[in-house]
Amino acid sequence: MVWMETEAFKKVVEIVGSKAEIARQCGVTGQHIQKWKSRVPAIHVVKLEKLTGGEVRREELRPDVFYD
């Protein structure tokens, strides 16, 4: 199965600068980030929201967990 990156995750990478920087900021390895393409673990979405200055909201990254 091929996993596609969500638009929200693509935007996080664009804003933060790289997947390596996301991994560093979240305290995980680059291999972990590769698995986040289609579904970011809920434990990290608030951190990603903060890293993007709120440009990517937690609801966009995990609408199944965080919703309006």
The percent of residues above 90 in pLDDT, for the chain, comes to 65
Q: Is position 2 within any domain?
A: no
Q: What pTM, to 2 d.p., does this model score? A: 0.85
Q: Is position 31 within any domain?
A: yes
Q: What is the dihedral of CA 26, 28, 31, 34, to 10 degrees?
A: -20
The total of structural domains in the chain comes to 1
Q: Is 11 exposed, middle or buried (0-12, 13-18, 19+ CB in 10 A)?
A: middle
Q: Is position 68 within any domain?
A: no
Distance CA 4, CA 29 (A): 19
Do residues 41 and 49 lie in contact, with contact meaning Cβ atoms separated by under 8 Å? no
- Better-predicted residue by pLDDT, 39 or 57: 57
For residue 12, what is the domain's CATH number?
1.10.260.40
Domain, as residue range, for 52: 7-61
Q: Is position 14 within any domain?
A: yes
